[in-house]
Amino acid sequence: MKAKITATGAYLPEKILTNFDLEKMVDTSDEWIRQRTGIELRHIAENQPTSELAANAAEDILANSSISASDIDLLLVATVTPDQPLPATAIFVQEEIGAYNAFTFDVNAACSGFMYALSIANAYIVSGMVKNAMVIGAETMSKIIDWSDRSTCVIFGDGAAGVLLEPTEEDEGVLSVVLHSDGRYSDLMRVPAPGSRIPCSKKVIDDRDIYVKMKGNETFKLALRNIVSVSKEALDLAKMDFSDVNWMVSHQANRRIIDGVAKRVNLGEGKAIVTIDRHGNTAAASIPLALDWAVKTGKIKKGDIVLLNSFGASLTWSAAVVRW
């Protein structure tokens, strides 16, 4: 038994923030952002919680599938921007779409969150514990970004997307998944407060400790190396190599990282799916957003080998090989 992706879906909030808009907010330029990251614009959720974005993506997945909300067995939401600490964002999504027969929970593995959730859903399906699973990556990064910090505010965006997984007896679907994490790098990217380590206070707000802090340059170097190695691990497990890959769908953190990986592994021209130009880095939503775009535009077709890979705070990295 394998788990196959049978539908994808996505949702992006209406408001668009361009690099030129950012030029008016911090000391930056369209040229710097394009050259250093590949980003041209990003979507911003105004007055919308993460669960609303996720629920809209879930409705799109359902519209592209042959099941209805009441058929969903397992509903996972990968996010680092939950609606609130308690309950899980997935609970609100369940209520919003009426998936009352599912059990639901959130997964936090930063930008690798979708991949971690995909691996959990895959394991549940392969074990026979559920007959289907919806996996959504959803973020409102704009709510945890320091809009006065040019080194982070130009990078991130908001959005949600996901997939439906169902069992298959064929040699298709998720062929391999590899996950890694390393807590020794926990200070590379973090939101220090509020939490049990540093509870909420006026001081944490005044010190701007409620926002993302990132050592971008160090993260960049680790990203390149680790994405290449974990992709090779996943391909080895599936008894394939990079020459078998039709499409690479990577976490969209920086165009230079995606291009760097494609070059190092000789992927071949045009095989790396790129959506960062119009989404920015949407953390756990970025891989399913890119995947949904590639499916809906007819790039990914039945039988294609799709390599998914991710990199996130602090530190998580993963890869999966999927036969579409």
Residues lying near ligand ACO in the complex (CB under 6 A): 28, 32, 36-37, 110-111, 150-151, 154-155, 189, 216-217, 219-220, 223, 253-254, 281, 283, 311-313
Burial class (CB in 10 A: 0-12, 13-18, 19+), 61: buried
CB of 275 vs ligand ACO, minimal distance in Å: 15
**Collapsing DSSP states into helix, strand and coil, what is residue 48?**
coil
Inter-axis angle of helices 89-97 and 50-63, to 10 degrees?
50
Q: Are 306 and 175 in contact (CB under 8 A)?
A: no
For ligand ACO, which is the closer residue by CB, 94 or 282?
282
Question: In angstroms, rounded to a whole number, what is the distance separating the alpha carbons of residues 220 and 196?
Answer: 29
Task: Between 152 and 176, name the residue whose CB sits nearer to ligand ACO.
Answer: 152
Name the residue nearer to ligand ACO (CB basis): 35 or 70: 35
19, 56, 132, 281: the catalytic one is 281
281 catalytic? Reply is yes
Q: Which is nearer to ligand ACO, 36 or 143 (CB)?
A: 36
Query: Whole-number minimum distance, CB 111 to ligand ACO, in Å?
Result: 3
For 123: left if phi > 0, alpha if psi spans -120 to 50, otherwise beta; the answer is alpha
* Rounded least distance, CB 30 to ligand ACO, Å: 10
CB distance 105 to 63 below 8 Å: no
Helix (H, G, I), strand (E, B) or coil at 4: strand
Considering 19, 251, 279, 309, which one is annotated as catalytic? Answer: 251
**Distances in Å between the alpha carbon of 56 and those of 76, 92, 102, 207?**
14, 12, 17, 35
Tell me the residue nearest to ligand ACO as measured from the CB. 216
180 catalytically annotated:
no
- From the candidates 111, 122, 132, 153, which is the catalytic residue? 111
CB of 36 to ligand ACO, least distance (A): 5
Active-site positions read 111, 251, 281
